[in-house]
Chain A
Amino acid sequence: MKYVIIGNGAAATGAVEGIRSVDKTGSITVVSREDHHVYCRPLISYLLEGKTDEKKMLYRPGNFYEENGVDVLYGVSAEKIDPAAKKVTLSDGRALDYDALCVATGSAPFVPEVKGLRNVGRVHTFMTLDDAKALEKDLTPQSRVLIVGAGLIGLKCAEGILERCKSVTVCDLAPRVLSSILDDDCAAIMQHKLEDMGVEFMLDDTVAEFEENSAHMRSGKTVGFDVLVMAVGVRANVSLIKDIGGEVNRGIIVSDKMETSLKDIYAAGDCTESTDITSGVKKVMAIMPLAYMQGRCAGVNMAGGEELLSNALPMNSIGFGGLHCMTAGSYTGECYEEKTSTSIKRLYTEDNLLKGFILIGCNDRAGIYTSLIRNRTPLDTVDFDLLKRSPALAPFGKSYREEKLGGAV
């Protein structure tokens, strides 16, 4: 068997490991646009913060490809797939034959067209290791940095560079930070933490026009800056599949086996859409654990094994200055809330199921809640009154405990 994987991130790594769990000998070729061994993209902010280094941030050990018999083509991208000839054409003119193909192309920063943006000298995105290094090069202790976008990427960037520049201002069209995962109250807690750390915010506001070193905001304010980071959002890289008529929405449409609508072509990771089990809605859930699991599922199926992935849910664990915020699922139904001056717990239940939660400053054993969501555990089969106050195994009862603690799981 000849396997080709387009991409070299978490999903691609999962695909390699999935293939090798079934087929030890088939040839695997990874097409890596980035000229780097697989690394952990979410760690680029920690790199700038000095909490990791390039060696430590590798996703897999240095001998990973060798150990798994993988041929990596660095610094090239896939240009076109010919599904009839089962061939991938690369940017350097080469072509690769495949028996099974996995598209794990991830996503790319979306940079909106803002008037005057092309006049800005130092403008960055913050997604890849090379992005982080380029940003680092432009930073001085005197730099005033403007970050457009108060989402996960923009805020982690802010934290990562805060001690390395004079000021960091974050603006966002939304009236709150982390608007995709938090409501107003919870967002305010995270915002205060970041403000205490020294980040300045201009929310509910957006850039109307850039000059070389300043941004004129829609509100009429003007912000001076030396370095600009555009972190508005990301878009799934779907064009390889879209170009050849494969089914695509915002992300590539895949089955529970990670098959695209095209024969012998699979897709995994941030370039795909999957069904959020807490809402039933198909959407792009660009989170690294899911990317890995999808890749692994794709790999197993590519190699003739059988694996299904049908329990995806959005979830995030993100911290700033030691304050952690965990979120999962959908915030619908009845809300149970516990609040102190430093923490908030919100659990959302509907139809006898835990649908989602927000936990800030109270993360201990949070995975017990996540597993209730993922397993769609009927809440009348556990002591949820006990569980909602404190996540533990006791509320699951004796037989669950015997099963989980009594033997290998």
Chain B
Amino acid sequence: MSTATTSNSPGKWVVLPHFAFAALAFVALSVLLIFSTDAFGGHYFHPKLLTLTHIAVLGWATMLIFGALYQLLPVVLECKLYSERLAIASFVLLAVGTVLLSYAFWYFEVGWVMHLAGCALFLSFLLFSFNVTKTARLAPKWTIDADFIVTSTYWLVATGAVGLLMALNFTMGFLPADHVHYLKLHAHIGMAGWFLLLIIGVGAKLIPMFLLAHPESSKKLTWAYYLINAGLVCFVFDHLFFQTGFVWLYAGMVVAGVGLFMLFIYTAYKSRQRQDLDLGMQQTFVALALVLLPLVLLFVVSTELPLPQELLSAIYLVYGISVFLGFVSALILGQTFKTLPFIVWMHAYEHHVGRYKTPLPKDMYSHAWLRWQNISYLLGYVLLVAGVLLRVQDLILAGAIGFTITSLFYTANVYLLLLHKVKQLKPFSYGNASA
């Protein structure tokens, strides 16, 4: 019994700048998408597409995940964050690295700017991984959620290392194979190793918590963890050294792992006490449904189907879009409004609860904007995917406009929360608690 260790949350300056940066990155990404409709007609190794991908992956998704994780790690691991200073250093390096890398890709300047960006990002990942690992070692008990989270950071470091090597290789030319060969490795360990493992680790804890469900067993998650990691390790070694043609098998292991996670979530969903799903959770389930598309496409890109080159190029593009602008973005758009209002509320009202009537976190942002954000997102996503697949630039443009509208609603709501000020609060007048 203790009251001493109840608040493990880090300071707001550790967490909130990540949300502020990520929202702006999402706007930048969407606006640049409008000016990049011509880039979707060919191969994915295109300066504009590389820019868009890295803004989406680093400035938007990774930035937001870093910030959210500093808040959520103490919840999942039941201990304080190891170092707030490391977290701030990691944020600065990620922000600077993302801006420099985006500039370098957009103008395709493969010299010192790209090298500097690569070094900043790799260092940011190293600091982040070190911080998470040290935090996990403080945890009073080790769970499978912790395994997912800690391992995902090692894959992030590996992804960054391959990316840095590729950046240096542009001018130094020391890698034995071509860039596309390493790009496949870089992309897949980033997608399945970093994003997927992290999302499963955090989702397995948070989604049942938000649904008020208590899943009895974590066996499915344990199997998922080993299947995904085994699939990834096999893929890495095969891709680098053997090229046996068994990629579909490794893909199958990853897909089976995701399937087990989905079953775990389904069990939690069936046993939930909270029947009424808010907009944030509705969007989260949309994201979980959207993961089906990249899982199907994973088999298409991992088996050498005799498809026309043009169609295959379009499928590769849709595959990438369906992961980053589909599953990952949809999840962020939903989960932001399950976590950020809460974080802001806690910092604003922590010392007022119990003395004054305070608003609830759900009263601190616009539900109408959130609803329009979710609608415009889904429309934008469908139009973009259709446009890329059918190679119709007007559809791609319509999708990009949909994303821009989404990003504006999202950012407006995020800044509404970040700039929230405590107004004059009324003290309690005892008598009727439900009044």
Same complex? no
